[in-house]
Amino acid sequence: MPQRRVVTGRSQEPRQRFAEELRRLRADKGDSLRQLGERLGWDWSLFGKMEKGETLGGPEVVQALDQYFGTPGMLLALWELARADHTQFREQYRQYMALEAEAVSLWHFAVSVLPGLLQTPGYAREVLAAGGLKGEELERQVEARMGRRELLEGEDAPPFRTILSEAVLRTPLRNGSAWREQLEYLAEMAEQPNVTVHVLPFSAGPYGLDSTDVWFLRLPDGRTVAYTENAHRGELIEGYGPVERLQRAYDAVRDMAMSPAESRKFILRMLEEVPCDPSP
């Protein structure tokens, strides 16, 4: 599988960057537009329009292109940035999304919401709807978020560690069936060799990250960057000193968290507490 490529260079305009990457990947593959259409089962004219920037296509075609070109999650990340350009995503979040696609390892802390990489469609839909999305845009964003989960799949998947505040698991969805599905999926992912899940119990007391979701990304050049987010704003942090301070706070939280084995047992206990669906 080809190495992950840096997706932050060249054009900084997301739609143009997406179109550039499509053209480059097809040229490297040696396919004509017609050949690409025949191999993926879409009308070749769609790919021509995407390469000209006339349309972005849908998440399903972008996921197929990621698979065909051997770029798991990269094109989908660019597609998300292009769709959100100047509207939904702030500039720093767009930068974070591009860096996530090239990260060689990721680690994360959640205050109240599961990370997108571990969400089910039902969970993502309810969370995104709570943020004001609806209709077709809501469904597009749910599909895009599901596509991001491919980052953790396959032999080339980067290691991912998350620490979940107990509050995350004590905040169920309104839809009981969707909540059960989410907990089952979380328990399943906690067994994957590249995924480590910790639970930080309420009994741990106060801690240094008690109001901030934070992501750390280790990049191919050895740098680590951080992205912090709350309900109102997000910040991409690249300076060595601030990132180091956040890492020390993260390490302290990890020391207070349950072990991966204990955490999975906790998730399964939470699953047992979900009421069974009433009989029809």
Select, from the ranges 126-130, 177-181, 273-277, the one with the highest average predicted confidence (pLDDT): 177-181
Q: Which of 159, 61, 182, 166 is nearest to 108 (CA)?
A: 159
Q: What is the residue type of 37?
A: G
Rounded to whole angstroms, the Cα distance separating 135 from 99 reads 29
Mean pLDDT of 122-143: 88
Contact 214, 230 (CB under 8 A): no
- % of the chain residues with pLDDT over 70: 89
**Tell me, what's the pLDDT at 280?**
42
Contact 233, 212 (CB under 8 A): no
Residues paired with 199 in a beta bridge: 164
**Helix/strand/coil (H, E, C) string of 67-117?**
HHHCCCCHHHHHHHHHHHCCCCCCHHHHHHHHHHHHCCEEEEEECCCCCHH
- % of the chain residues with pLDDT over 90: 54
pLDDT tops 50 at residue 4: no
Condensed to tens digits (0 to 9), the pLDDT of residues 40-81 reads: 998 888 898 888 877 788 788 899 999 999 998 889 888 887
**Tell me, what's the pLDDT at 232?**
62
**Tell me, what's the pLDDT at 165?**
96
Contact 147, 76 (CB under 8 A): yes
Contact 266, 169 (CB under 8 A): yes
Condensed to tens digits (0 to 9), the pLDDT of residues 188-217 reads: 999 999 999 999 999 999 888 878 899 999
pLDDT tops 90 at residue 147: no
Q: How would you classify residue 88: left for phi > 0, otherwise alpha for psi between -120 and 50, otherwise beta?
A: alpha
Choice between 186 and 13, residue whose per-residue pLDDT is larger: 186
**Tell me, what's the pLDDT at 49?**
83
Q: Which of 176, 189, 161, 83 is nearest to 123 (CA)?
A: 176
Rounded to whole angstroms, the Cα distance separating 280 from 49 reads 49
**Tell me, what's the pLDDT at 268?**
96
Q: Which of 151, 155, 83 is nearest to 118 (CA)?
A: 151
